[in-house]
Structure 1
Amino acid sequence: MTDLKLSPAAQANLDWWLTNPVTLPWREPIEELVSTGQSEELENAFYQRLEFGTAGIRGQVGLGTARINELMIGLATQGLVNYCLAEDADSKSRGIVVGSDTRTSSPTFVALVCQILVANGFRVWRFPAPRQVGMMSLAIRHYQAAAGIYISASHNPPSDNGFKCYWSDGAQVLAPHDQGIIQAVAAVTEILMSGDKGSITPIESDFDQLYIKTVLNEGLLTTAERTAKLVYSPFHGTGQYGVLPVLKQAGFEVVTVQEQMSPDGLFPAITGGVPNPQNQESNDLTAALVIAEKADLGISTDPDADRLGLVRPLEQSTAILDGNQTATLLGYFICQRLKEQDKLPTNGFLARTWVTTAILDDIAADFGLKSYQTLVGFKYIGRLIEAHEDQGTEKFIFAGEESYGCLKGSYARDKDASVAALMAGELVAWLKANHQTIESYLAEIYQRYGYYALQPVDLKFPGASGFQEMQDLMAKLRQTPVTQIGQWPVSNIIDFAEAAEPTNMLIINLDEAGRTQVIVRPSGTEPKIKLYTSYYASMVKGTSGQAYDQAMEQAQEQSNALKAASQAWLESLR
């Protein structure tokens, strides 16, 4: 064997691949890399073993424990099967829901998942065609399935794919199930792939109609009031089977971006090839059609249709709302409309992740509601719904996250672009009827609560060396706590590694109230450290006209200064 220069982790994972009987069908290409001494390729393929992050496992398709491939999908599936059998004696008959987005490798992975489930004697509730995340979550709950498997890499490039694992509540798996599944996967010695002890039940089109009706029940306007003209793009993904029919059946006039309607995992008509609705270039065609059609709003969704981007028209151009602006607008609109209709529950609550705008807390308090904050990942919001609504006495109203995901209503336990799009369409229709704009509505909100200027920064750490760099940087932050960031002295630091449910995140508060702050955390699905800066401008409250404009300008200057200082501080530690 050629001498290889590998990290201890890569060597251990490689040895496992070359010796474990379960890997035999996928061993030959790796043996070829070993025999030719491809150390760099082997290091990148084996430097880590994919584990469940904030959205399951996700990565580049290819061989190795650090990538998505048939072996990793097979191990995850068999591990989930073994865990389900240990947790629930009825899990075989209850079944597992299987779905996917439109990525090119998804049909192969879905077929493998179904093959393994049937070989293990499970009933499979299978979507016969790509369907979105919101449908997946509702299907698990509707069919009372034991779990769900969704093959998708969300908004990642075409080269990627992933495995999202859902539990019986319709939310992505959390502790203790996530660690239990990881342990079950690690213990797999055989992947059952032959035999037909189980069965496959196709999920028929009547479920699509159930889903559409369920989402429409969350509406706040009548069909006659939905007078907005909308432009919509599914980014070659699943939104055309959920988001689009919801908007059409709601009564909106919808113009679609025809170049991006084909269900194609290569995303050929997306500028840059990355189907991320938060990217300006990804929304080029949507923005152009908003102008051409003189539409009231443009809406785009990523391939699994859990996130949405909103493109608002300006006088001669367009602008994309960020995830915090979207959460702010929809959260306030929903509370305001429910109150006007005398439907706002006194026991209601809003929810957000820690890295999402705290203005949702202010909105909740203003309307006499509770608000809850949780870790990054919508699965944690699903757990809040279970704790406070399913097992408690409260009523979930709305949740938002800065990464462009929202949910109204508890029919699903994951973010769903269908209901978010419905709310966005109703918002612009209501604003139109009341001679307002998105800009004036945001001003009304900021004048009421103050302005939270939030700016995210991504520090990328590609490859095996990058993964270690991320760990080293987070260790440095804990070993030598920062005391000053730019002009802001540190008030206190909250280390979530010491929390009851530990996670690798630091909240650095720059005022006593925790409104101006910096949050640092490694991404759960991508090789980067995410930095979130939040500057709270109380001077915006109660202003109007020129005073408002000046206060907003000053707030943005301070926000930019905080972002620059925070980024410089982190970069100095690399």
Structure 2
Amino acid sequence: MNIMYICVKNEATRSDILQLVNEKNIEELKKRLLKRMEFGTAGLRTRMAAGFSMMNDLTIIQTTQGLCQYLLKNCPSVKSKGVVVGYDGRHNSERFAWLTTTVFINAEVPVYLYSRVCPTPYVAYAVIYCKADCGIMVTASHNPKEDNGYKVYGSNGSQIISPVDKYVAKSIEENLAPLITSWDASVVEKIPLRKDPYNDILKHYNEDLKKLCYFRSVHTFTYTAMHGVGYPYVIEACKVFGVREPVPVVEQIMPDPEFPTVRYPNPEEGEGALSLAIDTANANNSSVILANDPDADRLAVAEKLEGGKWHIFSGNEIGALLGWWSWLSFRQKNPDVPASDVYMLASTVSSKILQTIARIEGFNFEETLTGFKWMGNKSDEYLKAGKTVLFAFEEAIGFMCGSSVLDKDGVSASMVTAEMATYVYDQGLTLYKQLENIYQKYGYHISLNSYFICHDKDVIKRLFDDLRNFNGTGKHPDTCGPYKIKYVRDLTVGIDNSKPDNIPTLPVSKSSQMVTFTFENGCVATLRTSGTEPKIKYYTEHKPDPQKGLDKQSTQHELEDIVQCIITYFLQPEKYNLQTRVS
């Protein structure tokens, strides 16, 4: 890394602002300088550019100064326990990580700074292993190449949640003036307060990974890192699991911040993002694709079906498979552990398939708000109470297998999936056929999820405000086209009319939009904003009801019609100028 380049104030971003001034581009200057990025439970994530509302050297320094002062005041042990800092392969990620480290070291706080790019779960794991008071990962995950981010973990190895985010945000506001020392990253190389955790974490992470291994896998898989950091870490994990090294998508295995072969570096986007992986798998007679996103905390799975067509599993489908497998393999190894001491979790917008399995098998299911920060912290509570947390997932292809990492982890999930697939194939089945078996045993859970893009926060607020006044002031809709709505839960304003007192059991957050409709026919639909992307997302799930004459096919058709009604009557893309998703 060119240390001298970041030992001075950044002339590139200064020049950008001066150019806007010379051009008299007042509107752009207002966007850049009159609003600051909001620090929340997701930390920071936005475009890299000059200005207080963007990711750049100055805003990284300001954020870190505020976080550091919060920790010194509220966790004085940070002076001895330190913090963990990691980064992915995006533009400026290493640079931002070094500036972050500089601020902490100048405050005499030890820093475990990775010497190379690493998966996000390696930071979550290292916080616990190193007994640190905090972790920071510089990553924008699967966002476009123009973005970067700053994710913060607490001392329990899980992402921070409210009210800690509010306290940190306040501390940032109180420490905006950049110290001269904060710009000089050369201190990172000179002071012994900086330690490299790479070798220790690589060793101990993989030793803990053995807890998830039940038998050796010999099936051949295709793997893509999506131009991210995952490949060398997956190779190490393969050695632990006895999995053959996967067939790599050569064009995508090395970190490349330009993401040259994909429009979006997001394996969740489907066949468009996985086209090279499919070509590689076809050429190598491989029937299963495992795909990590660029920071390797998420996992996509695809399988070649009879006839040569590829099925790309949704996050809910993978969740069903891994939930089934987690219970089956745990039960075989631990037949005497009471089911009442075992937990699985899922976010409220994810499929309720785990809840159904739990009801039949006897273990516990916990629903949380959207995001692994909630599932991670809830898992930590259960672990401290002596319970076993087997699995957690969210529909956005995030999976937590076991509890060594209290966050989604695409590395461990890829290995568990590889082992599960080998077991399934040994039974003469495929993953797709096994999924069908799961649904036949526990009931079909049919989902249809997608999103619209909107970059204007005021428009998004107006859309949701219009929903809250759909039938007059303060009255949510009671129908959506021909479909009657039975219950409405609004976690932005704190209403749930399925409860006697109308108060929801899940936490309320005024800073994010989230409304759930339960229809009289049993379908559940949630509309929410993304915490990290300019998206309005919708999530729907419907279950067949033989008493109403609804089999799988008719349920699918009814769900598709309900979704179309939601788009037509609630989202109204033309009215609010929403952009459709592009794969």
Does TM-score exceed 0.5, indicating one fold?
A: yes
CA-CA distance at 1:570 after TM superposition: 2.2
Alignment partner, residue 6 of structure 2: none
Q: CA deviation at 1:23?
A: 11
Q: How does 1:498-513 map to 2 (within 5 A)?
A: 498=494, 499=504, 501-503=507-509, 504-511=513-520
Q: Secondary structure at the match of 1:161?
A: strand
Question: Residue in 2 aligned with 1:329?
Answer: 321
Whether contact under 8 Å (2:292, 2:410) holds in the other structure is: yes
Contact 2:303 2:432 in 1 (8 A): no
Instruction: Tell me the equivalent position of 1:256.
Output: 248
Listed one character per residue, the Cα deviations across residues 278-334 of structure 1 (whole Å, up to 9, x for unaligned) are: 432111111122222222411010111011110111121312111110001110111
Structure 1 residue 27: Cα displacement? 5.5
Q: In 1, are the aligned partners of 2:58 and 2:178 still within 8 Å (CA)?
A: no
Code of the residue aligned with 1:469 in structure 2: it is V
Aligned to 1:534: 541
Residue 425 (structure 2) aligned to one of 428, 432, 443: 432
Supply the distance in 1 between the matched residues of 2:176 and 2:236 (Cα, whole angstroms): 45
Partner residue of 1:397 out of 382, 385, 390 = 390
- Residues 1:520 and 2:527 are matched in the alignment: yes
Cα shift at 1:526: 1.3
Q: Distance in 2 between matches of 1:277 and 1:205?
A: 31
| Equivalent residue number for residue 200 of structure 2 | 206
Q: Given that residues 97 and 148 in structure 1 are in contact (C-alpha distance below 8 angstroms), is that contact kept between their aligned partners in structure 2?
A: yes
CA, structure 1 residues 277+169, in 2 after alignment: closer, same or farther (shift >3 Å)? same
Identity %: 27
- In structure 2, what is the Cα distance between the partners aligned to 1:552 and 1:193? 64
Q: Which residue of 2 is the match for residue 132 of structure 1?
A: 119
The residue type equivalent to 1:569 in the other structure is: Y
Which is worse superposed, 517-526 or 347-356? 517-526
Equivalent in the alignment of 1:289: 280
Q: Aligned pair 1:475/2:465, yes or no?
A: yes
For residues 419-454 of structure 1, the C-alpha deviation after alignment (integer angstroms, 9 at most, x for no partner) is 211121111111111111122211111112222221
Q: Spell out the pairing of 1:126-525 with structure 2 (5 A cutoff).
A: 126-194=113-181, 199-219=193-213, 221-223=214-216, 226-253=217-244, 254-268=246-260, 270-315=261-306, 316-343=308-335, 345-346=338-339, 347-390=341-384, 392-462=385-455, 466-480=456-470, 481-497=476-492, 498=494, 499=504, 501-503=507-509, 504-511=513-520, 515-525=522-532
Shift of 1:564: 0.8
In 2, Cα distance between equivalents of 1:273 and 1:554 = 34
Structure-1 residue corresponding to 2:553:
553
Taking the aligned partners of 1:258 and 1:404, their CA distance within structure 2 comes to: 23
Give the Cα separation in 1 of the matches to 2:302 and 2:38: 35
Distance 1:188 1:431, change over 3 A: same
Secondary structure of 1:412 counterpart = coil
Q: How big is the shift at 1:24?
A: 11
Change (3 A) 1:133 1:539: farther
Residues 366 and 48 (structure 1 numbering): CA distance in 2 closer, same or farther, change over 3 Å?
farther
Q: Is 1:49 equivalent to 2:48 in the alignment?
A: no
Distance in structure 2 (CA, Å) of the matches to 1:92 and 1:74: 19
Is the contact between residue 222 and residue 286 of structure 2 (CA under 8 Å) also seen in structure 1?
yes
In the TM superposition, what whole-angstrom CA distance separates every residue of 1:511-545 from its partner, at most 9, and x where no partner exists? 38xx511101111111221111222223499xxxx
Higher alpha-carbon deviation: 179-188 or 278-287 = 278-287
How many angstroms does 1:121 deviate by? 1.2
1:242 Cα deviation (Å)? 2.1
C-alpha distance in structure 2 between counterparts of 1:177 and 1:75, whole Å: 17
In structure 1, give the amino acid aligned to 2:107: N
Q: What's the secondary structure of 2:543's corresponding residue?
A: strand
- For structure 1, which runs of at least 5 residues remain unmatched after alignment? 1-21, 542-546
Conservation of the 8 A alpha-carbon contact between 1:127 and 1:203: yes
Alpha-carbon distance change, 184 to 53 in structure 1, aligned in 2, over 3 angstroms: closer
Q: Which moved more, 1:381-390 or 1:479-488?
A: 479-488
C-alpha separation in 2, matches of 1:245 and 1:408: 17
Whether contact under 8 Å (2:265, 2:294) holds in the other structure is no
- 1:242-294 deviations in whole A, cap 9, x for unaligned? 223212431222211111112211122x3325343443211111112222222
Q: TM-score, normalised by structure 2?
A: 0.87
Distance in 2, matches of 1:540 and 1:153, equals: 47
Displacement of 1:383 after TM fit? Answer: 1.1
User: Which one is further off, 239-248 or 117-126?
Assistant: 239-248
Structure 1 residue identity aligned to 2:448: Q
Classify the secondary structure of the residue corresponding to 2:58.
helix
Q: Note the alpha carbon deviations across 1:393-412, whole angstroms, 9 max, x for none.
A: 42211001000000111111
In 1: Cα distance, 2:254 partner to 2:342 partner:
40
Shift of 1:32: 4.0
Which stretches in structure 2 are left out of the alignment for 5+ residues? 1-8, 471-475, 495-503, 577-583
Find the aligned partners of 2:326 and 2:338 in 1 and give their Cα distance.
12
1:339-383 deviations in Å (ceiling 9; x for gaps) = 234445421011000000011101111111111111111010011
State the number of aligned residues. Answer: 536
